[in-house]
């Protein structure tokens, strides 16, 4: 089989589409989680590991794993980082620009490469090859090439970490984008290699390592929670 990243033939690993650490808050006491079907007639499924498929060779698995280890420390441990908070944004200085960019690019690319139904709507077209080469060569690109805007989801004073929900394609200010809820953040991935600065403004990581984490307004979170609740099956009658 051929590795999707380096294109070399060989044995492939069962690669996570989303890194395993992003599932940490979703697992129950038995290290299991349930996927809730979004399509009529699709059954609920019980999993003990995050969604995986054979995508990468061992070398490329290690290459992307390096960015995952960085992101895990950033998201869950926040080692050595000082947050500067304004009314709706946390400004995080000192973030490794290259590592963060390559991590978000790898998320978008793997969702696009996946054949799993959860990511069926993610179609990158010719952008897939461009992002593949950026990952393979370690080229993070400029802040407005395939940028990712990150927003914290706070619900009743707690970060909403216990769910992973991918979304279909959306249009944001005239640009195609995909959204993903995981680890208590909404990640919006723009599928464009030439966004203008005015399209996302100061909403994305800067080359000097300042990462803005936007806080979703309460009304947006309330609407989101109610939308998710509407997808849940009814409680059985007593």
pLDDT tens-digit map of 70-127:
888 887 665 555 666 666 777 888 899 999 999 999 999 999 999 988 888 899 999 9
Phi and psi, residue 136, nearest 5°: -65, -35
pLDDT value at position 228? 57
The whole-number average pLDDT for the span 202-222 is: 83
- Which pLDDT tens digit goes with each residue over 17-55? 888 777 765 555 554 444 444 455 554 443 445 578 999
Q: Is residue 140 within 8 Å of 98, Cβ to Cβ?
A: yes
Q: Is residue 143 within 8 Å of 206, Cβ to Cβ?
A: yes
Domain ranges in the chain are 13-231
The H or E element containing residue 155 is strand 154-155
Block residue for tokens 């973030």: 95
Q: Which range scores top for mean pLDDT: 122-131, 183-192, 219-228?
A: 122-131
Judge residue 91's burial from the number of C-beta atoms within 10 Å of its C-beta, 0-12 exposed, 13-18 middle, 19 or more buried: middle
DSSP state of 235: P
Buried b (16+ CB within 10 A) or exposed e, 170-195: eeeeebbbbbbbbbbbbbbbbbbeeb
Rounded to 10°, the helix 58-72/97-113 angle is: 120
Whole-number mean pLDDT of the chain? 79
Dist. CA 105–CA 205, nearest whole Å: 13
Q: Which range scores top for mean pLDDT: 43-52, 76-85, 179-188, 218-227?
A: 179-188
pLDDT value at position 85? 61
Question: Coil, strand or helix: which one is 100?
Answer: helix
**Tokens standing for 30?**
């038995």
């Amino acid at each position: 089989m051929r590795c999707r990243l380096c294109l070399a033939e060989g044995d492939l690993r069962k690669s996570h589409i989303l890194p395993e650490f992003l599932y940490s808050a979703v697992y129950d006491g038995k290290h299991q989680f349930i996927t809730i079907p979004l399509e009529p007639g699709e059954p609920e499924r019980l999993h003990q590991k995050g969604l995986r498929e054979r995508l990468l060779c061992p070398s490329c698995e290690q290459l992307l794993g390096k960015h995952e280890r960085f992101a895990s420390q950033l998201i869950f441990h926040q080692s050595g980082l000082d947050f500067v908070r304004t009314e709706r944004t946390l400004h995080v200085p000192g973030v490794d620009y290259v590592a963060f960019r390559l991590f978000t690019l790898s998320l978008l690319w793997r969702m696009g490469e996946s054949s799993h139904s959860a990511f069926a709507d993610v179609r990158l077209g010719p952008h897939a090859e461009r992002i593949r080469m950026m990952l393979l060569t370690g080229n993070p690109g400029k802040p407005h090439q395939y940028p990712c805007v990150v927003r914290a989801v706070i619900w009743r004073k707690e970060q909403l970490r216990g769910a992973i929900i991918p979304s279909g394609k959306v249009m944001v200010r005239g640009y195609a984008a995909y959204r993903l809820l995981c680890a208590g953040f909404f990640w919006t991935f723009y599928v464009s290699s030439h966004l203008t600065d005015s399209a996302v403004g100061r909403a994305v990581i800067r080359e000097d390592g300042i990462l803005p984490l936007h806080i979703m307004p309460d009304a947006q979170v309330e609407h989101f929670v109610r939308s998710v609740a509407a997808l849940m099956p009814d409680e059985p009658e007593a």
